[in-house]
Amino acid sequence: MGYIPHSKEDRVGMLKEIGILSGDIDELFKGIPHELRARSFNISEGISEYEVDKYLRSLARKNAVGLVSFVGGGFYDHYTPAAIDAVVSRSEFYTAYTPYQPEASQGTLQAIYEYQSCICRLTEMEVSNASLYDGGTALYEAAMMASRITGRNKIIMDGGVNPIYRKMMYSYTSNLSMEFVEVDVCHGQADREKIRGHVDDKTAAVILQNPNFFGAIDDHSDISDMCHEKGALVIESVYPVSLGILKTPGEMGADIATGEGQSLGIPLSFGGPYLGFMATKRKYARKMPGRIVGATVDTAGKRAFVLTLQTREQHIRRDKATSNICSNEALCALRALVYMCLTGRGGLKKVARLCMEKTEYAKKRLGDVKGVEVKTSSPTFNEFVIKLPVDPNDVIGKLIDKGIAAGFPLGRYYEDLENYLLVAVTEKRTKEEIDMYARELEAALWS
């Protein structure tokens, strides 16, 4: 960072040094029409480091950071083991941006290789890339990948797919010749008959989510079989923690698996950065965006790691590039890798079981609250829907004052669900916290 002039005299002196003899800052920008000048330069005098620190801390104290969270919708308040920060804070990891010189980046490449291996084991798919930006962009990339593989441009999306992801899909494809069909869920799960009616010889893929946005668990194996009969692919968006006990995309016959990796040791952090993962069948590896790190041996016979595939336009592929993904989000991927290694197969199963069992307890407790209806048409993992007798936003405001983030109001994305609230429970929520939530919810409704 260069020198920042602190006083008016300093600023005038610097302006004169570059030829603005009047010392008037407006003259520097006279070539820009006044109506196009976005902001004023009437800023206050500089302050000391101590004063800056004190001011920023005062702003931070305004944030409600101690809330007991029952909010989900794709991003969850899971426990992050302390060892993760200890590992990723090592300078050789957090200063290494991306392996442009593979021969000099063996540590980074090995970390990515191990991450890919874990994602393949988690999803029971054959090959994974080096990660993407987040779950939504990963799903978009999967749709484009399916279009490249099949030569078709019709995408069918189940209504249980995260509405945030669906908005991102439409945004990213707004200038492309893609056709989208959305199919409403039936009692919380994918509507087989309607999906079957839309799949034809123009369909590139059917996009499904498990558990879906409403928390419902589904086995999509039959949909996969039906799609494959028509030459269409199946894209499964999954919640990685749930795979500790639920059927994997590989088991259900999916062709591409994607998801949001935030629950694998990445803090919520006010919305990011997060992690998109993608895995697929080996035969589709060359159609997959991003990078794939592989293991080999060098001329001395020692194990070495290389960028096996790299599909960026900056790597001379130009119009043949499969994506413009520019960063493999290696630090977030490393966090997910460390989490999966620390937790292990047994630990992941335990976390998943805790989420599901505590959710069942929360459903019972909230179901006992007068005026609250818990939706039970489908089995759920760690999220479920409740119907309230009042506007959920009013209840959310009251519970915030009690230190509770009550859930996600579904009316924000669904016009016919104004009185519905999506509630999420993770392994962090205790019996006492769930009981407190039930008590405060009842008080908010009837006091």
pLDDT digits (tens, 9 = 90+) for 55-106: 999 998 888 778 999 999 999 999 999 999 999 999 888 877 666 676 778 8
Q: Is the pLDDT of residue 41 over 70?
A: no
d(CA 149, CA 335): 31
Q: Is the pLDDT of residue 4 over 80?
A: no
Q: Is the pLDDT of residue 39 over 70?
A: no
d(CA 431, CA 150): 49
Instruction: Name the band, by pLDDT with cuts 50, 70 and 90, for residue 2.
Output: very low
Query: What's the alpha-carbon Rg for the chain, to the nearest Å?
Result: 25
Distances (CA, A) of 437 to 316, 429, 430: 56, 10, 11
- Highest mean pLDDT range out of 107-111, 233-237, 265-269? 233-237
Q: What is the per-residue pLDDT for 322?
A: 76
- Average model confidence (pLDDT) across the chain: 92
Cβ contacts of 23 within 8 Å, gap of 6 or more: 11, 12, 13, 15, 16
Please spell the DSSP secondary structure of 260-290, one letter per residue: EGGGTT---TTT----EEEEE-GGGGGGS-S
Kindly state the tokens that stand for 442.
């009842």
Kindly state the tokens that stand for 438.
């039930």
Q: What's CA 248's distance to the chain center, in Å?
A: 19
Instruction: Catalogue all structural domains in the chain, each as residue range(s) with its CATH number.
Output: 10-46 (no CATH), 68-76+347-446 (3.90.1150.10), 82-340 (3.40.640.10)
The mean pLDDT of 123-139, rounded to a whole number, is 96
Kindly state the tokens that stand for 393.
């936003």
Q: What is the per-residue pLDDT for 327?
A: 63
Burial class (CB in 10 A: 0-12, 13-18, 19+), 288: buried
- Residue-wise pLDDT tens digits, 328-361: 678 999 999 999 999 999 999 999 999 999 999 9
d(CA 428, CA 77): 7
d(CA 2, CA 383): 50
Q: Cis bond leading into 211, ω under 30°?
A: yes
- Residue-wise pLDDT tens digits, 363-380: 999 999 999 999 999 999
d(CA 321, CA 342): 36
Q: What is the per-residue pLDDT for 17?
A: 87
Q: What is the per-residue pLDDT for 311?
A: 60
Helix 135-150 vs helix 163-172: angle between axes, to the nearest 10 degrees?
50
Distances (CA, A) of 379 to 238, 246, 356, 374, 376: 16, 12, 10, 12, 7
Kindly state the tokens that stand for 407.
């859930």
